[in-house]
Amino acid sequence: MSGHSKWHNIQKKKGAADAKRGSLFTKLAKAITIAAKSGGGGDPEFNFQLRVATDAAKAANMPKDNIDRAVKRGTGEGDDGGQIEEVVYEGFGPGGVALLIQCLTDNRNRSNAEVRTVMNKNGGNPGEQGSVMWMFQHKGVVTIADPSTILDRDQFELAVIDAGAEDLEESEGVVQILSAVSDLKKVMDAVEAFGIKPDGVDLEYRAKDEIPLIADDHNKLEKLVELLEELDDVDTVFTNEA
C-alpha cells in the first residue's frame, strides 16, 4: 500500500498514549470545521464531506461536544478562533522521495515555518508549488479493515466497480477501494448496500509511480514523516515510496 494512508495514520494515533489524544482530536476537529464550511452546511445527511469527517472523529472516540463545536465553527455559529483552511506543502525527503504535506490551519505563515523547519532539520527539502504534485492523483478511498465481512467477493467487486471503483487493493489484511473523487459517495453507498460499514472514507493523494528506498533512507523518511505529523497543523503526509 503506497505512501501513508489516512486510515492507517488514524489507527496508529488511536493507539498512542492518552497524552497525545488531544492532538488527534484537534486535527479531526479541523477537518470537521472545513467540511462544514465548504461541503454544504452542518447536517451530515446532506453534507457528504461532513459525514466522512464526523465518522472519522467518532471512530477515534472523539466526544460529541467536540464534534458539535467543530461543526458550529465551520457554519459560523462558533466564536472560538480564526478560519481554518487546507494547505498542501510539497517537497522531497531522503532518497529523493516526493512528499505532500496536507495541513489544516488558521495561520499559513506558522504552518509554513514549522513544516520547513522540520524538513530542513531532518533530511527534507521543501519544494515550490507544483514541484511534486504532478506525481500524485487525488483519489477517493474506502477502507474495509476486515475483508471477511465481504461474503460474496465477486458480487461485491462487480457492484463497487459499477459504482465507479477504479481499483481494489488488499494489503496487511485491509481492503481499500480507490475511485475518482466525484465517485466516492457512490462507491461508499455501494459498500454499505452489502451491509458493510466502511472503517474509513477519505480523500487521499496516491502516487502515480512509486520508488523504492534503501533501508537507511526508509528509516530516515519514517522519522521525518513522524515528526511532521506531530505538528498540530499537519493532517496527513503522503509519499511516493514503494
The domain locations on the chain are 136-207
**pLDDT tens, residue by residue, 64-92:** 999 999 898 888 876 655 688 889 999 99
CA–CA gap between residue 87 and residue 104 (Å, rounded): 6
* Predicted local distance difference test score (pLDDT) of residue 11: 56
- What is the pTM for the complete model shown? 0.82
> Distances from the Cα of 241 to the Cαs of 1, 222, 231, 237, in angstroms?
10, 10, 21, 12
Instruction: Enumerate long-range contacts of 49-58, CB under 8 Å, 24 or more apart.
Output: 50/74, 52/201, 52/202, 53/28, 55/201, 56/10, 56/28, 56/31, 56/200, 56/201, 56/202, 57/25, 57/28, 57/29, 57/31, 57/32
pLDDT digits (tens, 9 = 90+) for 125-151: 999 999 999 999 999 999 999 999 999
* Rounded-to-integer distance, Cα 184 and Cα 177, Å: 9
Cell numbers 526508509: residue: 218
The predicted structure's pLDDT at residue 202: 86
Which CATH superfamily, name and number, covers 136-207? YebC, transcriptional regulation domain (3.30.70.980)
Whether the per-residue pLDDT at 62 is higher than 70: the answer is yes
Burial of residue 81, with CB atoms counted within 10 A of its CB: 0-12 exposed, 13-18 middle, 19 or more buried: exposed
Buried b (16+ CB within 10 A) or exposed e, 157-166: eebbbebbbe
For the sheet with 85-92, list strands across it: 125-126, 85-92, 98-105, 234-239
